[in-house]
Amino acid sequence: MTSTGWWFQAKHALDTRGPFPRRRRGTLAEAVAGRRVLVTGASSGIGRSAAIDLGAAGATVLLVARREPELQEVVDAVTARGGKAFAYSCDLNDAEAADAMIRRVLDEHGGVDILVNNAGRSIRRSLEQSYDRAHDFERTMALNYFAAVRLMLAVLPGMRERRFGQVINILSAANLFGGPGYSAYVASKAALDEVSTSFQAETLDQNITFTAVYMPLVRTAMIAPNAQYLKASALSPDEAGRVICDAVLHRPRRMGPTFGRLTRLVDAISTERADAARHRRFSAGT
């Protein structure tokens, strides 16, 4: 079985065989008809692929990223397939710029029905290499957590008023089984996961779903500098984009490979064993 095969098989096992099984929701075109979908990190990689597929299915896709020329290329790709797309160039690390951007989006489109928090920053450094680099944790949190929360706080009032909405947070499979060497990255994604769990409890009766996608390795520019990933199994951006489309279609609470779920179970039963496994993996990679 290919790496893609095990991901999709495991993903659907997680989505449909849990304590609250979800029925298939027709087609993607039916799921996004008339919907406004905002995708961050939309100029390349996972975000670009997801935006093109969602736009082709009939969503109005609102594209956010820093690089305006690349965003325009995505707009052109969506429109070439008969869809509607609008580009919003913005550095989400800049709080004032992010606030201005989302106000413009809401003014021009009247709201956001589905928010895909995909933009992110990854830093690989061991604890020993991090002693004098607290700023690595701060800047990772700025994009991966605070920027995502800022967007959620802006779009959720409208979702609650309309009694429909979905927030899709692109997290990491390392949030399920640990990510030694990536402490800043994994912690920022965990914070986003936890705040969404709290928001979900407050909006459960309002037809709003917070979907956590524990994404495995994806062959994007983010992992290119890391030599250890050159030959590792990884999804393509197009495959990862289709995972996001599945999240829109099925609206699950959580999506992720089964082995990650099992690792969490081991961690709950015997934290010492889980810690030892994480330590062995870290030692093997250093």
Q: Please, which residues have CB within 8 angstroms of residue 5's CB and are 6 or more apart in sequence?
A: none
The two tokens of residue 279 are 């330590």
In sequence order, what are the beta bridge partners of 170? 213
Q: Kind and range of the H or E element at 72?
A: helix 68-80
Burial class (CB in 10 A: 0-12, 13-18, 19+), 172: buried
Instruction: Give me the active site residues, please.
Output: 185
Work out the number of other CB atoms within 10 angstroms of the CB of residue 17.
Answer: 9
Q: Kind and range of the H or E element at 38?
A: strand 36-40
Measured at the CA of 49, the angle between CA 122 and CA 82, to 5 degrees, comes to 150
For residues 46 and 118, is the Cβ–Cβ distance under 8 A? yes
Q: Please, which residues have CB within 8 angstroms of residue 226's CB and are 6 or more apart in sequence?
A: 124
3-state secondary structure of 97: helix
Q: Please, which residues have CB within 8 angstroms of residue 222's CB and are 6 or more apart in sequence?
A: 45, 120, 122
